[in-house]
Every structure is written in structure tokens, then in C-alpha cells.
Amino acid sequence: MPTNISLTWIDYSILFLYCLFVIGIGFALKRYMKTSADFFMSGRSIPAWVTGLAFLSANLGALELVGMAASGAKYGIMTCHFYWVGAIPAMVFLGIFMMPFYYGSKARSVPEYLKLRFDERIRCFNSLSFAFMTVFASGISMNALAKLLHQLLGWNYDVSLWICSAVVLVYVLKGGLTSAIYTEVLQFFMIVLGFAPVVYLSLKDVGGWGNLKHTLAKVAVDPATLDLSTKTFAPDAWTSAWKPLLGGPGANPMGIDLFAMVFGLGFVLSFGYWCTNFLVVQRAMAARNMGSARRTPLIAAVPKMLFPVLVILPGMIAVGLAYTNKDGYHLPPRAVSSSAYAKAVPLVQEAATSKLAPAAATKAISEAVGIKLSEPKIAALLKDNATNPLSEKAIKSAIQGAVIENDYDGIILSLVQKYCPPGLLGLALTALLASFMSGMAGNVTAFNTVWTYDLYQAYIAPNKTDAHYMAMGRIITVVGILLSIACAYVASNYNNAMDIIQLVFGFVNAPLFATFVLGMFWARTTAHGAFFGLLAGTGASALFHATTITAGNVPGIKGGYLAVVQTFPSEMAQNFWLATFAFTVCFVLTLTLSLATKRTKTDEELKGLVYSLTPKLVDEEKSWFLRPAFLGCVLLAVCVVMNFLFW
């Protein structure tokens, strides 16, 4: 656990000026919020370069900075597949094929498109599931931020969570989506400026890329030294993107095979997220015209392709530093909470009088704190306490010292602490603050739009005035922030943000993408087939999670709460297979039911909603190099090269 550090006046000034600036953006844009369309959709007036950076920045929450650094340490360079396999192809597909449907149909949201394509039932179901996903994703960002401020600066977790949420609330409440988009552009540059020095300094300290590869080769052969895994792997397991995959689940730290990576992540999860998630699609829909809307994800794909250097490499560097014990650096252990200490301390005191065996005592205390503990260290604690009763403070310190479970989410914080002097520390902390706030703001603006248009206006209070819906949008923004805070407390049970967010995507986006694939590209898909297929796919994901678990976990919040039918090597492997299972169930059932039921919409009604029935779009962009098809081909070619470079 990082030692608390003190900020200088320079660091506090940078943090304060940033918060003041983003709040000022909200107040400055308030006067332009005259209609609900202005508040929820920015009046479709924003240029492509702004929506492109906002498109990327809305995804730069805890998932990106904390989660990717955590996964870089835990899984190595295979984490790059979340970009080169799990993002770029889907972003290109969205820009070339799907944005014409979203933007051209004049739908205000993804659920509204589903209503136009199918019926109200699917719109309602998707609105509810999407609302759940957005507040959970928002909560993950805020949990990571509050944990950062608590671990690094010693600030109270609860106070940090509520204050940072209040800042987001103010600028979103005042300026709506436009405020969120322009602050997201600012946050993008803050993130790059704040983290580039940390990556440069840490890579230099570890001896450069060549020396890091040499060190990680030793780690792969003996990962148990850092409690990364109980298995041993080939020397290139942490530094090769594809070779470990070809060896099967047992040959790589992520514990997955080629099919799960390519189909589970590369097709189901990635296309499901980038092509159906209203959080990112909303940014493209705010563009000023069709051409700008189509170029939005393509513009975002350029920096997205290079971001592994900024967010994954630090995690790999941390492992290299910890293995060589450079300047005493070690991977941060999970922190024991105050409520867990209240259960564990009495157990230590009772074990000394009851002469409980070390193995049994370790098991009981580990269950009390919910974290794996070292049996030899707990045995030493019991022995010391039996010889000379220790104070409660000493017992707590010994329990924390016995933790052998890494807090991967704390890795980026530990590097910031190690390499950032005053001034640079304030800039890095502001970059972290920006990333978490952009994640929360992006999800909250998507949540308030879907709630107001697709639930409140559609089913609760139709035919009200525009001012009424705008007022409801502001009210539900407050509610969304409060729900996000509640979800932040749930997210605190996971030690890797990437693991939990991919699980949420598997529940919501994986089956939804099957519905979209059939609905957009097969006119025969019926509303009955789509609704019951989506319902069954979502239920299948819940059933899969309830009957599977990962090695080292106990049945409960992380799966296996009904029965344990299958055990996976890692939580990421469980997530990929869950997504694959949910997609397959939804796809097969939708296909079958559509063939067995009658169409309710004619070909004329489906024009602009189904690919084969929609007149082919003529690209009016005069500059050939700005046309989406050309840009997409270039991006895919570069992506292939990146994969070969790190084969």
C-alpha cells in the first residue's frame, strides 16, 4: 500500500484550477441550454475533431488508466488486445456501417433506434439494462478515484467520493452534454500531459524496453515470486501478444485460448461495446453532420491505437521494478478495510488463548478480511501475541503486512508517487482526476438521456412540454450521481477494475450486439424474436455467472453462487466466455423465433434501419483522404502491423 504523501501548494493549485475550470465550462455553457435537445444532444452542432476526442475521452475512466495498468501487470502485453483486437476494428465498423443508421434515422438514443427497428418492448428492456450498466461504470470510475485519494494522500474514502461526485454534478447539471463533451476534450490533453512523464521516467529507471523484456522473461518463469500466478509460463508470456495464446489457456497469464480472445473479445465484447453503447455513440450523434458523425470514431481510433504505451506499459514496468526490488519498490497489496479489522482483530486475540492451529487461524482471519493472507506471517503474529499481547494497532499492522493479494488497481498510484516531484505530482493527480471525472460524466449524461427520452417520456409522462423534460433531465442527473456513488461501494469489492467492467459489458452488451447484428443486416428479424432472444441472452449471462467461478475465489459476488460447474483460470477468461455464451444464446434464439413468427414491419418502414433496404450512402466529402472508407482501411492496416510487431 503506498505511503501517504503530502502535496505542495503547487500541486494543490493545479488541482484547484482544474476543478474551477471544468465547473466554469458548465456555467459558461448554461446560457446555451435552451431546449431539451440542447441539454441532451448538444443540438447536433459540434465539429468532428471535438466529438472524436470526446468519444475517446468518455472511455478514459477507471477502465483505461487504472484498469489497463492493472491488467498490464497482471496479464502483460496481451492486454493490448483490448485495443488492437477489441477496439480498433469495431470503431472502424461503427464509423463506416453503423453511424449512417444511428445518425440518419434521427433517433435520439440507441434504445430509440431499437424502438424504430422493432417495438417498445425492446426499447424498454434495453433502456433499463443500459441504465444499470452506465451507473455501474460510473461507480467504478468514482471508486477508483476515491481509492486513489485515500491511498495516496490519506484523504477519507467517503468524503473524497462525495466531493468529486459533486464537482461532476455541477458542470453536467449546468451545461448538459455539451459541457461534458468540451470538458472531455480538456481531460484528454490533461491525461496525456500528466502520464507521459510518468511512463518516460519509469521506463528509463527500469533500463529501457530491452531490459524490461529481459526482466519480464524471468517473471514469466517464476510469477509466484510476486504472487502473480501459481503457474509457470514461457519466458515471452508477459511480452508477446499472440504466441502465449497459441499455446492454450495454460500457456498465458490471462488463462484464455485463441477462440475466446478473437470471438469473445474481438467480436462479441468489442463490437457489442463500441457499436451499441450509447455512452460513446452519443458523442458521434452530437456531430454537426453525417460526415462528421462517421469520422468521429475514426478520429478517436488514431490515439486509441497508441494508448497502450500510456496505460498498459506502466503496469508491465511496475512488475519489472518489483521483481528487481528497484529502490525497494513492491507491488501494492490490497488494503484491509476498517470494518474487516473489526472482525479480524478479535480472531487473532482468541486464537492465542484457544491455541488454534496456524492453518485454521489463517483461514478464519482471511475469511474475515476477505483477502488472502500468508500463513507463516499469521503464525508469527499468533506466536508474538501469545508471548506478549500486542496492541490493537500492532495487530492491524501485522495483518496488513500478511496480505499476499496484490492490489493491481493501486499500481498506477504507486508509480505516480515514486516518480512525480512537486508540480509534476499535481499534474499527474489532475490527469487521474480528469480520467475518472470524464468516465463518470460520460456515463451520467448517457444515463439522463436514456432515462428522460426512453423511459420517462415514453412510459411515465408522455406529451409534456419541452421545459418539463429538460427539468426532468436535471433531476435525473442528480439521481444518476447518487446511484453511481452506491455502485462505487459495490465496485470496491474487486481488485481490478477491468475484471468487473468486462463482466458488466458481458451481461448487457454481448446479447444486445446479437440483436443488432440480426436487426441491422437481416430484414426478416422480428420484434418477437428480438425481444425474447435478448431476454434469454441476458438471462443466460446471469446463469453462466451463477454457475462458474475463477480459481482462488469462493462462491459469491464473483460467481458460483448457485453451483460451480466450471472453474476458469482468471476472471477475464470467465468474462470472455460469459460474453460468448450470452451472444450465442441470443443470436440462435432470435434467429429461430424470427423464422417462426411473422414480421410486423414492412420493407418501407425499415428503410434507413436495415442495411439491405437502405439506399447506399454517397460520400460527399471532396477530399478522398477524409472519406470514412479510406480512413478505416488505413487504420486497419496499421492495426495489423502493430499486432505483428508484438507477435
Q: What tens digit of pLDDT does each residue of 161-220 get?
A: 888 788 777 777 766 667 677 777 777 787 888 788 888 988 998 888 889 889 888 888
Res. 63 pLDDT band, cuts 50 70 90? low
Of 284, 285, 495, 479, give the one whose Cα is nearest residue 406: 495
Per-residue pLDDT, 2? 45
The one-letter amino acid code at 339 reads S
User: In this structure, how many other beta carbons lie within 10 angstroms of the beta carbon of residue 128?
Assistant: 16
Cα–Cα distance measured from residue 434 to residue 344, given in angstroms and rounded to the nearest whole number: 37
Per-residue pLDDT, 487? 82
The one-letter amino acid code at 100 reads P
Residue 246 clears pLDDT 70, i.e. is over it: yes
Res. 637 pLDDT band, cuts 50 70 90? very high
Res. 617 pLDDT band, cuts 50 70 90? low
Of 401, 429, 396, 405, give the one whose Cα is nearest residue 331: 405
In this predicted structure, which of 114-123, 265-274, 391-400, 435-444 has the lowest mean pLDDT?
435-444
**Cα diameter, the chain:** 85
**Residues 436, 141 contacting (CB under 8 angstroms):** yes
Per-residue pLDDT, 587? 93
Helix (H) or strand (E) holding 127: helix 120-153
**Residues 264, 506 contacting (CB under 8 angstroms):** no
Cα–Cα distance measured from residue 6 to residue 414, given in angstroms and rounded to the nearest whole number: 14
4 vs 149, more confident: 149
Helix (H) or strand (E) holding 568: strand 566-568
Mean of per-residue pLDDT scores for the chain = 80
Per-residue pLDDT, 557? 64
Per-residue pLDDT, 268? 83
387 vs 497, more confident: 387
Res. 595 pLDDT band, cuts 50 70 90? very high
Res. 554 pLDDT band, cuts 50 70 90? low
DSSP string covering 343-403: HHHHHHHHHHHHT--HHHHHHHHHHHHTS-B-HHHHHHHHHHHHHSPPPHHHHHHHHHHTB
**Residues 597, 526 contacting (CB under 8 angstroms):** yes
Could you give the domains of the chain? 9-326+411-495 (1.20.1730.10), 338-405 (no CATH)
Paired with 566 in beta bridges are 548
Whole-angstrom CA distances from 485 to 127, 141, 145, 159 are 20, 10, 11, 11
3-state secondary structure of 463: coil
438 vs 420, more confident: 420
Cα–Cα distance measured from residue 168 to residue 441, given in angstroms and rounded to the nearest whole number: 6
3-state secondary structure 251-262: HCCCCCCHHHHH
Contacts 24+ apart (CB under 8 A), 163-167: 164/433, 164/436, 164/437, 165/440, 165/481, 165/484, 165/485, 166/481, 167/19, 167/22, 167/23, 167/437
Q: What tens digit of pLDDT does each residue of 490-534 get?
A: 777 655 555 566 667 667 778 888 898 898 888 889 989 999 999
User: In this structure, how many other beta carbons lie within 10 angstroms of the beta carbon of residue 476?
Assistant: 21
Encode 220-237: b = buried (16+ Cβ within 10 Å), e = exposed: beebeebebbebebeebb
Per-residue pLDDT, 533? 92
In this predicted structure, which of 107-111, 229-233, 392-396, 460-464 has the lowest mean pLDDT?
107-111
C-alpha cell at 487: 455502485
Paired with 403 in beta bridges are 373
Environment class of 199 (CB within 10 Å of its CB; exposed 0-12, middle 13-18, buried 19+): middle
**Cα torsion angle, 207, 209, 211, 216, sign:** positive
Q: What tens digit of pLDDT does each residue of 276-329 get?
A: 777 778 778 777 788 888 888 898 888 888 888 888 899 899 888 888 887 778
Per-residue pLDDT, 494? 59
3-state secondary structure of 116: helix
Environment class of 56 (CB within 10 Å of its CB; exposed 0-12, middle 13-18, buried 19+): buried
Per-residue pLDDT, 609? 80
**Residues 613, 603 contacting (CB under 8 angstroms):** yes
356 vs 575, more confident: 575
3-state secondary structure of 40: helix
